[in-house]
Structure 1
Amino acid sequence: MYAIVDIAGKQFKVTQDQFIYTPSLEGEEGASVVFDKVLLVDNDGKVKVGAPTVSGAQVSGKILSHLKDDKVIVFKKKRRKGYKKQNGHRQGLTKVLIENIK
């Protein structure tokens, strides 16, 4: 059984007892979260496709930790002008354990 869920504007294919890294979510570590925007549910070959979401379907999970992604270096340069600028960015992530798909 798997589901496709919209979490913070991104779509994830999730199964039970799976870890996913989502964009930063509100909540403390150990708190439970429920995702209502379920776009598709596959239950042993029986597929339900939502228009746009499947009514009554929910995916519940548990927040395990908040962390940061790998650093991305942003380097800008204009040749022959003496202009160089370098920035780094680390996106915030939340590690979520998928507990149940209803």
Structure 2
Amino acid sequence: MYAVIRSGGKQYRVTEGDVVRVEKLSAQVGEKINLDDVLMVGSKGDVKIGAPRVEGSTVQAEVVDQGRGRKIDVTKFKRRKNYRRHHGHRQSYTELKITGISAG
């Protein structure tokens, strides 16, 4: 069984046992959470598509890690104008292990 969930403005296709990195959630490592924003649930031949969500379905997950991604360097430059700007960015993430999917 698989599900399509929405977290942090992005969509993820997950199955039981997957480990996914989503935008940072306010949860501690080891904590179990329920993701209620399920857009689609499917198995071999049976697919339920929500409008916009599948009512009563949830995805259970466990928080494995809280961290920050690799650094991205941002540089702005205009030639012959003495204009140079440089800064970096590291995006925070939460790593989730999917422990169960209930179709509702």
Pick the TM interval, shorter chain.
over 0.9
1:70 aligns with 2:40: no
Query: How well do the aligned residues superpose, as a CA RMSD in angstroms?
Result: 0.7
The one-letter code matched in structure 2 to 1:74 is V
The one-letter code matched in structure 2 to 1:12 is Y
Unaligned runs of 5+ in 2: none
1:56 aligns with 2:61: no
* Structure 2: distance between partners of 1:18 and 1:47: 20
The one-letter code matched in structure 2 to 1:9 is G
* Structure 2: distance between partners of 1:7 and 1:33: 13
How many residues align? The count is 102
Residues 44-72 of structure 1, C-alpha deviations (whole Å, 9 max, x = no match): 21000001000110001000111111111
Unaligned runs of 5+ in 1: none
* Structure 1: distance between partners of 2:71 and 2:17: 28
Matched residue, 1:82: 82
Q: What is the identity percentage for the equivalent residue pairs of Structure 1 and Structure 2?
A: 37
Q: How does 1:1-102 map to 2 (within 5 A)?
A: 1-102=1-102
Q: CA deviation at 1:33?
A: 1.0
Q: TM-score with structure 1 length normalisation? A: 0.97
Q: TM-score with structure 2 length normalisation? A: 0.95
* Runs of 4+ deviating beyond 2 Å: none
* Structure 2: distance between partners of 1:61 and 1:45: 25
The one-letter code matched in structure 2 to 1:38 is V
